[in-house]
Protein backbone atom coordinates (compact mmCIF):
# COMPACT_ATOMS: atom_id res chain seq x y z
CA UNK A 1 0.00 0.00 0.00
CA UNK A 2 1.15 3.51 -0.83
CA UNK A 3 0.65 6.36 1.64
CA UNK A 4 1.21 10.01 0.80
CA UNK A 5 0.76 12.95 3.13
CA UNK A 6 -1.32 15.63 1.44
CA UNK A 7 -1.42 19.28 2.52
CA UNK A 8 -4.62 21.19 1.80
CA UNK A 9 -6.39 24.29 3.04
CA UNK A 10 -9.76 25.06 4.56
CA UNK A 11 -11.02 28.46 5.67
CA UNK A 12 -7.49 29.88 5.60
CA UNK A 13 -5.84 27.10 7.61
CA UNK A 14 -3.49 24.32 6.57
CA UNK A 15 -4.38 20.65 7.03
CA UNK A 16 -2.40 17.47 6.39
CA UNK A 17 -4.27 14.26 5.59
CA UNK A 18 -3.08 10.92 4.25
CA UNK A 19 -3.91 9.44 0.85
CA UNK A 20 -3.86 5.62 0.89
CA UNK A 21 -4.08 3.25 -2.09
CA UNK A 22 -2.72 0.01 -3.53
CA UNK A 23 -0.21 1.29 -6.06
CA UNK A 24 0.05 -2.14 -7.69
CA UNK A 25 -3.42 -1.63 -9.16
CA UNK A 26 -3.89 0.69 -12.12
CA UNK A 27 -7.68 0.61 -12.42
CA UNK A 28 -9.72 3.51 -11.08
CA UNK A 29 -11.37 2.72 -7.76
CA UNK A 30 -14.16 4.27 -5.67
CA UNK A 31 -13.18 6.78 -3.00
CA UNK A 32 -13.38 6.23 0.76
CA UNK A 33 -12.99 9.15 3.14
CA UNK A 34 -12.00 8.04 6.64
CA UNK A 35 -12.44 10.42 9.57
CA UNK A 36 -10.43 9.12 12.54
CA UNK A 37 -11.05 9.28 16.26
CA UNK A 38 -9.99 12.23 18.39
CA UNK A 39 -6.31 11.29 18.27
CA UNK A 40 -5.98 12.62 14.71
CA UNK A 41 -4.13 11.29 11.66
CA UNK A 42 -2.13 8.73 13.62
CA UNK A 43 -0.34 5.61 12.32
CA UNK A 44 -3.26 3.59 13.70
CA UNK A 45 -5.72 5.69 11.69
CA UNK A 46 -3.68 5.23 8.53
CA UNK A 47 -3.38 1.48 9.07
CA UNK A 48 -7.14 1.26 9.64
CA UNK A 49 -7.71 3.04 6.34
CA UNK A 50 -5.27 0.72 4.55
CA UNK A 51 -7.23 -2.24 5.91
CA UNK A 52 -10.55 -0.87 4.71
CA UNK A 53 -9.28 0.40 1.36
CA UNK A 54 -7.38 -2.74 0.35
CA UNK A 55 -7.62 -3.31 -3.38
CA UNK A 56 -11.14 -1.82 -3.62
CA UNK A 57 -10.85 1.84 -2.65
CA UNK A 58 -8.64 4.89 -2.66
CA UNK A 59 -8.70 6.10 0.92
CA UNK A 60 -8.01 9.42 2.59
CA UNK A 61 -7.58 10.09 6.31
CA UNK A 62 -9.11 13.47 7.17
CA UNK A 63 -7.27 15.97 9.34
CA UNK A 64 -9.77 17.81 11.55
CA UNK A 65 -7.33 19.75 13.76
CA UNK A 66 -4.95 21.35 11.29
CA UNK A 67 -1.30 20.78 10.34
CA UNK A 68 -1.75 17.02 10.78
CA UNK A 69 -1.79 17.40 14.56
CA UNK A 70 -2.03 14.21 16.61
CA UNK A 71 -2.47 13.80 20.35
CA UNK A 72 -1.97 11.01 22.85
CA UNK A 73 -5.39 11.31 24.43
CA UNK A 74 -7.26 13.31 27.09
CA UNK A 75 -7.32 16.02 28.17
CA UNK A 76 -5.89 17.53 24.97
CA UNK A 77 -7.93 15.33 22.63
CA UNK A 78 -11.14 16.24 24.44
CA UNK A 79 -10.36 19.96 24.25
CA UNK A 80 -9.55 19.81 20.53
CA UNK A 81 -12.52 17.60 19.63
CA UNK A 82 -14.96 19.68 21.68
CA UNK A 83 -13.81 22.86 19.95
CA UNK A 84 -14.71 21.26 16.61
CA UNK A 85 -17.97 19.80 17.89
CA UNK A 86 -19.13 23.16 19.21
CA UNK A 87 -18.79 24.82 15.79
CA UNK A 88 -20.82 22.63 13.42
CA UNK A 89 -20.43 24.96 10.44
CA UNK A 90 -16.66 24.85 10.69
CA UNK A 91 -16.83 21.10 11.31
CA UNK A 92 -18.76 20.69 8.07
CA UNK A 93 -16.30 22.89 6.20
CA UNK A 94 -13.36 20.79 7.40
CA UNK A 95 -14.82 17.38 6.59
CA UNK A 96 -16.02 18.60 3.19
CA UNK A 97 -12.55 20.00 2.47
CA UNK A 98 -11.07 16.58 3.22
CA UNK A 99 -13.53 14.94 0.82
CA UNK A 100 -12.75 17.50 -1.85
CA UNK A 101 -9.03 16.84 -1.39
CA UNK A 102 -9.51 13.09 -1.72
CA UNK A 103 -11.51 13.62 -4.91
CA UNK A 104 -8.99 16.02 -6.44
CA UNK A 105 -5.87 14.04 -5.53
CA UNK A 106 -7.26 10.67 -6.63
CA UNK A 107 -8.46 12.20 -9.90
CA UNK A 108 -5.12 13.90 -10.52
CA UNK A 109 -3.31 10.57 -10.13
CA UNK A 110 -5.79 8.75 -12.36
CA UNK A 111 -6.59 6.21 -9.63
CA UNK A 112 -10.01 7.34 -8.41
CA UNK A 113 -13.59 7.12 -9.65
CA UNK A 114 -15.05 10.41 -8.43
CA UNK A 115 -18.59 9.25 -9.22
CA UNK A 116 -18.40 6.76 -6.34
CA UNK A 117 -17.62 8.27 -2.95
CA UNK A 118 -18.35 7.09 0.59
CA UNK A 119 -17.32 8.25 4.07
CA UNK A 120 -16.56 6.25 7.22
CA UNK A 121 -15.82 7.62 10.68
CA UNK A 122 -14.95 6.26 14.11
CA UNK A 123 -15.89 7.94 17.44
CA UNK A 124 -15.26 11.69 16.97
CA UNK A 125 -14.73 10.88 13.29
CA UNK A 126 -18.15 9.29 13.07
CA UNK A 127 -19.65 12.56 14.21
CA UNK A 128 -17.66 14.31 11.50
CA UNK A 129 -19.06 12.14 8.71
CA UNK A 130 -22.58 12.56 10.09
CA UNK A 131 -22.03 16.30 9.70
CA UNK A 132 -20.95 15.58 6.12
CA UNK A 133 -24.34 13.92 5.59
CA UNK A 134 -26.16 16.79 7.31
CA UNK A 135 -24.45 19.25 4.97
CA UNK A 136 -26.17 17.53 2.03
CA UNK A 137 -22.93 16.48 0.35
CA UNK A 138 -23.16 14.17 -2.66
CA UNK A 139 -21.77 10.88 -1.38
CA UNK A 140 -23.14 7.38 -1.84
CA UNK A 141 -23.05 6.42 1.84
CA UNK A 142 -21.98 7.57 5.31
CA UNK A 143 -21.07 5.09 8.05
CA UNK A 144 -20.57 6.18 11.67
CA UNK A 145 -19.15 3.68 14.17
CA UNK A 146 -19.43 4.19 17.96
CA UNK A 147 -19.62 7.87 17.13
CA UNK A 148 -20.88 11.25 18.23
CA UNK A 149 -24.53 11.33 17.24
CA UNK A 150 -26.04 14.64 18.27
CA UNK A 151 -25.07 18.09 17.03
CA UNK A 152 -25.85 21.72 17.84
CA UNK A 153 -27.20 21.96 14.28
CA UNK A 154 -29.37 18.92 13.49
CA UNK A 155 -30.90 18.44 10.07
CA UNK A 156 -34.36 20.00 9.87
CA UNK A 157 -35.37 20.11 6.20
CA UNK A 158 -36.89 17.23 4.28
CA UNK A 159 -34.30 15.78 1.93
CA UNK A 160 -31.40 17.57 3.64
CA UNK A 161 -29.61 14.27 4.18
CA UNK A 162 -29.27 12.90 0.66
CA UNK A 163 -27.17 9.76 1.26
CA UNK A 164 -27.92 6.50 3.06
CA UNK A 165 -26.58 6.50 6.64
CA UNK A 166 -25.47 3.52 8.71
CA UNK A 167 -24.88 3.98 12.45
CA UNK A 168 -23.18 1.19 14.40
CA UNK A 169 -23.21 1.58 18.17
CA UNK A 170 -22.84 -0.17 21.51
CA UNK A 171 -25.91 -0.49 23.75
CA UNK A 172 -23.94 0.41 26.89
CA UNK A 173 -21.86 3.23 25.44
CA UNK A 174 -21.51 5.68 28.37
CA UNK A 175 -20.01 8.38 26.14
CA UNK A 176 -22.93 8.49 23.69
CA UNK A 177 -25.92 7.06 25.60
CA UNK A 178 -29.36 5.85 24.58
CA UNK A 179 -30.81 9.36 24.70
CA UNK A 180 -28.44 10.39 21.91
CA UNK A 181 -29.46 7.37 19.83
CA UNK A 182 -33.10 8.34 20.30
CA UNK A 183 -32.34 11.94 19.29
CA UNK A 184 -30.52 11.03 16.07
CA UNK A 185 -33.26 8.52 15.21
CA UNK A 186 -35.87 11.27 15.55
CA UNK A 187 -33.72 13.61 13.45
CA UNK A 188 -33.29 11.07 10.66
CA UNK A 189 -36.99 10.25 10.62
CA UNK A 190 -38.03 13.92 10.61
CA UNK A 191 -36.04 14.72 7.47
CA UNK A 192 -36.90 11.50 5.64
CA UNK A 193 -33.36 10.16 5.59
CA UNK A 194 -32.59 6.64 4.47
CA UNK A 195 -30.89 5.29 7.57
CA UNK A 196 -30.08 2.16 9.53
CA UNK A 197 -28.81 1.65 13.06
CA UNK A 198 -27.20 -1.52 14.39
CA UNK A 199 -26.75 -1.77 18.15
CA UNK A 200 -24.33 -4.32 19.60
CA UNK A 201 -25.70 -5.48 22.94
CA UNK A 202 -23.48 -5.03 25.97
CA UNK A 203 -20.71 -3.11 24.23
CA UNK A 204 -19.36 0.28 25.26
CA UNK A 205 -17.42 2.89 23.28
CA UNK A 206 -14.64 2.31 20.69
CA UNK A 207 -15.25 -1.41 20.19
CA UNK A 208 -13.61 -1.34 16.74
CA UNK A 209 -10.39 0.28 17.96
CA UNK A 210 -7.86 -1.36 20.29
CA UNK A 211 -5.87 1.82 20.98
CA UNK A 212 -6.40 3.79 24.21
CA UNK A 213 -8.70 1.40 26.08
CA UNK A 214 -10.48 2.65 29.21
CA UNK A 215 -12.20 -0.13 31.19
CA UNK A 216 -15.94 0.33 31.32
CA UNK A 217 -15.84 3.25 28.88
CA UNK A 218 -13.86 2.36 25.75
CA UNK A 219 -13.17 -1.34 25.17
CA UNK A 220 -12.16 -3.20 22.01
CA UNK A 221 -14.27 -6.22 21.03
CA UNK A 222 -12.67 -8.40 18.35
CA UNK A 223 -15.90 -10.09 17.22
CA UNK A 224 -17.83 -6.84 16.89
CA UNK A 225 -14.89 -5.21 15.12
CA UNK A 226 -14.70 -8.06 12.61
CA UNK A 227 -18.43 -7.84 11.90
CA UNK A 228 -18.32 -4.05 11.66
CA UNK A 229 -15.49 -3.97 9.13
CA UNK A 230 -17.29 -6.58 7.02
CA UNK A 231 -20.49 -4.49 7.15
CA UNK A 232 -18.65 -1.37 6.01
CA UNK A 233 -17.64 -3.04 2.76
CA UNK A 234 -21.04 -4.58 2.13
CA UNK A 235 -22.94 -1.39 2.87
CA UNK A 236 -20.80 0.69 0.55
CA UNK A 237 -21.02 -1.94 -2.19
CA UNK A 238 -24.82 -1.90 -1.93
CA UNK A 239 -24.85 1.90 -1.94
CA UNK A 240 -22.80 2.06 -5.13
CA UNK A 241 -25.07 -0.56 -6.71
CA UNK A 242 -28.21 1.39 -5.78
CA UNK A 243 -29.46 -1.42 -3.53
CA UNK A 244 -30.07 0.58 -0.34
- CATH code, domain carrying 157: 3.40.50.1820
pLDDT, tens digit, for every residue of 194-219? Answer: 999 999 999 999 999 998 789 999 99
Q: Which helix (H) or strand (E) holds 90?
A: helix 88-108
pLDDT at position 169 is 98
State the Cα–Cα distance between residues 105 and 61, nearest whole angstrom.
13
Radius of gyration over every alpha carbon of the chain, rounded to an integer in angstroms: 16
Domain count, the chain: 1
| Low-confidence residues in the chain, pLDDT < 70 | none
Instruction: State the pLDDT at residue 4.
Output: 98
Beta bridge partners of 21: 2
Largest CA distance in the chain: 46
Domain of 68, in residue numbers: 2-240
The mean pLDDT of the chain is 97
Q: Residue 109's pLDDT is what?
A: 97
Using CA of residue 104, residue 23, residue 59, residue 80, what is the dihedral sign? negative
Q: What is the structure's pLDDT at 46?
A: 98
- The pLDDT of residue 211: 87
Amino acid sequence: MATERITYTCNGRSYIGALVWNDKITAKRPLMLMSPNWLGVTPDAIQRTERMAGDKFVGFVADMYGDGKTVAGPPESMQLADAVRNDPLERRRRINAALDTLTAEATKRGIGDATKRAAVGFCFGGGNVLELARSGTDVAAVIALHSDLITPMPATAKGQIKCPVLIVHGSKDPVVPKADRDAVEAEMEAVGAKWQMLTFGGLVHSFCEPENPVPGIAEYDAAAARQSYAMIGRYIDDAFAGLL
